[in-house]
Homo-oligomer: A and B are copies of this chain.
Amino acid sequence: MTGWLAIAGLGPGGDGLVTPEVRTALDAASDVVGYIPYVRRVAPRPGLVLHESDNRVEMDRARHALGMAAAGRRVVVVSSGDPGVFAMASAVFEAVEAGPAGWRDLDIRVLPGITAMLAAAARTGAPLGHDFCAINLSDNLKPWALVARRVALAAEGDFAMAFYNPRSRARPEGFGRVLDLLRGLCEPERVVIFARAVTTPDEAIRVVPLAEAREDMADMRTVVLVGSSATRIVAREGGPWVYTPRSVPA
């Protein structure tokens, strides 16, 4: 039996956003590996072994999955969103690079998914319709100074921004510092979108000007979008549309 490894994105939560390619891989798998809440999105069936692991053990999980594929299993590593955006794909290739030479010959595929920022953008209009940056605010994996530097340069370039992992129990204060930094660099009307648990039953969207944005508007399930200076609000019943125009006048 020839093993393989698929690193698959389950999208933000809704079944309608899981690609057919990912469904096919899950249907063919012998093993599914991932962080507990993501593995629980996969329906159990006879012959499928579900391996749940805790957060922050990405490298152990990657090696486990690679070892099973090398032993002939058909393994799917599941991530929320897209596996290549602040998720498991980087961890798997880091493990490949550091691991046995034979792992480089494994059949490995990355199956993209709908990442949270694009699902959140879709819910509110087109806030990322022009140039934008995606920044992981977690300082577990990088120094705070680098987070701040990238946010400042993104603001200087007038990019729209998407912030992943704005706030967690382990580091609740970082996001407030980012908001303070932005308030020093952008006008008070700058559009900020808090998009929580998009496409799940817990979905909640909030659009506020930067002056009113507070760190407790985000939690671990929130992606935060910040418009560029050109981002527009189209008022209507039931919450505004937000879009960033495609063109910038000369």
Interface residues of A (CB under 8 A from B): 11, 14-21, 24, 58, 82-87, 89-94, 96-97, 104-105, 108-115, 118-119, 121-123, 125-136, 140-143, 146, 149-150, 153-154, 156-159, 232, 234-237, 241, 243-248, 250
Q: Taking A114-B112, A122-B89 as contacts, is the C-beta distance between A150 and B143 under 8 angstroms?
A: no
User: Which residue of the partner chain, among B96, B126, B150, contacts A110 with CB atoms under 8 Å?
Assistant: B126
**Nearest 7 A-B pairs (CB), nearest first?**
A90-B129, A16-B21, A89-B126, A93-B243, A141-B247, A110-B122, A142-B248
The answer to whether A114 and B19 touch across the interface, beta carbons within 8 angstroms, is: yes
Q: Tell me the number of copies of this protein.
A: 2
Give the docked Cα–Cα distance between A1 and B62 (Å).
52
**Nearest neighbor of A151 in chain B, beta-carbon distance:** B157
The answer to whether B89 and A125 touch across the interface, beta carbons within 8 angstroms, is: yes
Give the docked Cα–Cα distance between A225 and B6 (Å).
22
The answer to whether A245 and B90 touch across the interface, beta carbons within 8 angstroms, is: yes
User: Which residue of the partner chain, among B113, B115, B234, contacts A93 with CB atoms under 8 Å?
Assistant: B234
Give the docked Cα–Cα distance between A158 and B122 (Å).
28
The answer to whether A131 and B122 touch across the interface, beta carbons within 8 angstroms, is: no
Give the docked Cα–Cα distance between A115 and B158 (Å).
22
